[in-house]
Amino acid sequence: MNRFIKDLGGDRQLWVYTILLMLFSFWIVYSASSNLANVYGKTSPFFFGIKHFIHVSIGFLIIYFTHKITPKYFSHVSRIAMPVIVLVLFFTITRGLTMGGANASRWIHLPGLGSVQPSTVAFVLLMMFTARFFGKTNFAKMSFAESFKNYWIWVFAVVGLILPANLSTAALIFTMVIIISIIAGYPYKELLKVFGIGLLGIIMMILVLKAFPGRFSNRLDTWQSRIESYFTSDKGKATGINDKNYQQVQAKIAIAKGGLLGFRPGKSVQKNFLPQSVSDFIYAIIIEEYSLTGGLIILFVYLLLGLRMFFIAKRTPDRYYKLLVLAVGLPIIVQALANMAVAVGIFPVTGQPLPLLSSGGTAIWMSSFAIGIILSISRYTEVKEKKDLDNFIND
């Protein structure tokens, strides 16, 4: 065991925070899955606990093997993977998969892996590609047309193919791309052109989806329903599972029950009423069982995770590696904050999971891959610093 721990390279604190979240996820997902056991006819949440254990175990292996990769290879991966993931996204949205009778055009089924969400994979790959473009390209000497051809066309392709089925993920991807481009120093006047093209594209897409409602798999009505329910004055009066505000009302009840003391681990009641108790609204169950203090501790761990990422980015001397750490790391923290904001009623329902804690294979694996990339860069930086120090001493 000691040998294995010594073999874990990179930032030790990042390892600790990641492993703590993963370990805690075992218990909270097992506890919160009793609702799923009833829905899917399973006799015990044990089935979902084992399934989550397998997902997290694979996630840990992804972190371990990814952090052993020399970080320069991630640039090649993103360049090669972009055309592939765009084709996969196109295939996903056009085949119109349904799950349990509901529109699930965000998913595809892969033999041996089950249902996979390509938009989650595309998110990480596009952020890697973003770091590559801004870290390795002299965009300052490019015209907007050249930047569009080499980079922005891929952004619009990915966001455009995800948007009809998953508005929140598309919006989050575009927001993170803009943040990284600002950090990298991309000209503001060029960003205004990007916003203009993006706005025009959204308007055209909505018009097409409205004009041909049955032609493409989309969740336009779901967007409208969630936004309307968030801004309506009666959003605290949902009474049935089909009411627009049902999930957020049940989440607020869970948080109110948790209070300052909590219901104790495994004793949540609202997990039996929240359809997404192990994913979108798992934070509400955490507060119900572990109190507001437990919820604040989880928030604090994510903030510490973000601080370590900033520290790693600041420490590495390579511009591309700095941007790569921020490009794949910041979305984890922003996604966590968005999930918590939905649970407490600050944001409308978005469908974003709590990274490393929520149930779901694709989300866990891609978050693990992102953390593995960051640890790889941290490990590379430490080795380089040691070599430089050894050379200095030898001189």
Residue 373 carries which side chain, given as an amino acid letter? Answer: I
**Predicted pLDDT of residue 104:** 45
Alpha-carbon span 36 to 33, nearest angstrom: 5
Q: Cβ atoms within 10 A of the Cβ of 383, count?
A: 13
pLDDT above 90: residue 223: no
Stronger pLDDT, 391 or 265, i.e. the higher one: 265
**Predicted pLDDT of residue 393:** 57
**Residue 44, burial from CB neighbour count under 10 angstroms (0-12, 13-18, 19+):** exposed
List the domain boundaries for the chain: 9-394
Stronger pLDDT, 268 or 99, i.e. the higher one: 268
Please tell me the total number of residues recorded for the chain in this structure.
Answer: 395
Please compute, for residue 83, the number of CA atoms within 13 A of its CA located in the half-sphere on the CB side: 4
pLDDT above 90: residue 39: no
Q: Poorest-confidence range of 113-122, 168-177, 329-338, 367-376?
A: 113-122
Cross-strand partners of 98: 103
Alpha-carbon span 52 to 68, nearest angstrom: 25
**Predicted pLDDT of residue 18:** 96
Q: For 296-350, what is each residue's pLDDT tens digit?
A: 999 999 999 999 999 999 999 899 999 999 999 999 999 999 999 998 888 888 7
Most confident range (mean pLDDT) of 165-174, 213-222, 370-379 is 370-379
Alpha-carbon span 357 to 359, nearest angstrom: 7
Q: Averaged over 348-358, what is the pLDDT? A: 87
Alpha-carbon span 106 to 115, nearest angstrom: 10
**Predicted pLDDT of residue 107:** 67
Stronger pLDDT, 246 or 355, i.e. the higher one: 355
Alpha-carbon span 76 to 132, nearest angstrom: 9
CA 391, chain centre distance (Å)? 41
For tokens 């794949």, what's the residue? 328
Q: Averaged over 162-178, what is the pLDDT? A: 89
**Predicted pLDDT of residue 298:** 96
**Residue 128, burial from CB neighbour count under 10 angstroms (0-12, 13-18, 19+):** buried
**Predicted pLDDT of residue 103:** 44
**Predicted pLDDT of residue 221:** 60
Residue 337 carries which side chain, given as an amino acid letter? Answer: L
**Predicted pLDDT of residue 43:** 53
Q: Poorest-confidence range of 102-111, 239-248, 262-271?
A: 102-111
**Predicted pLDDT of residue 151:** 95
pLDDT above 60: residue 392: no
Average pLDDT taken over every residue of the chain? 83
Can you read off the two tokens belonging to residue 317?
């001397």
Q: For 147-157, what is each residue's pLDDT tens digit?
A: 999 999 999 99
* Percentage with pLDDT > 90 across the chain: 47
Q: Which residues contact 130 (CB under 8 A, 6 or more apart)?
A: 151, 155, 177, 180, 181, 323, 327
**Predicted pLDDT of residue 233:** 47
**Residue 120, burial from CB neighbour count under 10 angstroms (0-12, 13-18, 19+):** buried
Q: Averaged over 226-248, what is the pLDDT? A: 59
**Predicted pLDDT of residue 101:** 41
Cross-strand partners of 115: 109
**Predicted pLDDT of residue 116:** 78
Q: Cβ atoms within 10 A of the Cβ of 272, count?
A: 13
pLDDT above 50: residue 54: yes
**Predicted pLDDT of residue 384:** 80
Can you read off the two tokens belonging to residue 45?
């949440």
**Predicted pLDDT of residue 100:** 44
Alpha-carbon span 97 to 102, nearest angstrom: 9
Can you read off the two tokens belonging to residue 27?
């218990």
pTM above 0.85, yes or no: yes
